[in-house]
Amino acid sequence: MTAQLAQFSQLQQMEKLNASFGKMLESVQRSYASSLIGKEVSFRTAAADGSNEIGTGDVEQVTIGDEGQIILTVDDQRVDLANVLVIRD
């Protein structure tokens, strides 16, 4: 019984640590994304026919999407940070 309680306590501590790491990662990603404002980026985007295209433009704004994803506004287009391919000063 004591061993089970110890394992449960360790599991709780690991879950708290995991949550803390998740929050720290979100903070680092947001800070990184905000550093992109004013920089030129190239990104993947979908063409009208469904094929992939490469877009390029200057990052104007950074927002957080409904599902927590980081969205860049690049020349009036919404671009998911995960779709950025190249960053230039």
| CATH assignment at residue 67 | 2.30.30.140
C-alpha 77/C-alpha 36 separation (Å) is 15
Q: Which of 53, 43, 54, 34 is nearest to 87 (CA)?
A: 43
Q: Tell me what pLDDT residue 5 has.
A: 77
Domain extent, residue 36, equals 2-88
pTM (two decimals): 0.75
Helices and strands, number each (H, E), in the chain: 1, 5
> What total number of domains does the chain contain?
1
What pLDDT, in 10s, does the model give residues 43-84? Answer: 999 888 989 999 999 999 999 999 889 999 999 999 999 999
pLDDT digits (tens, 9 = 90+) for 6-47: 788 898 999 999 989 988 998 899 899 999 999 999 999 988
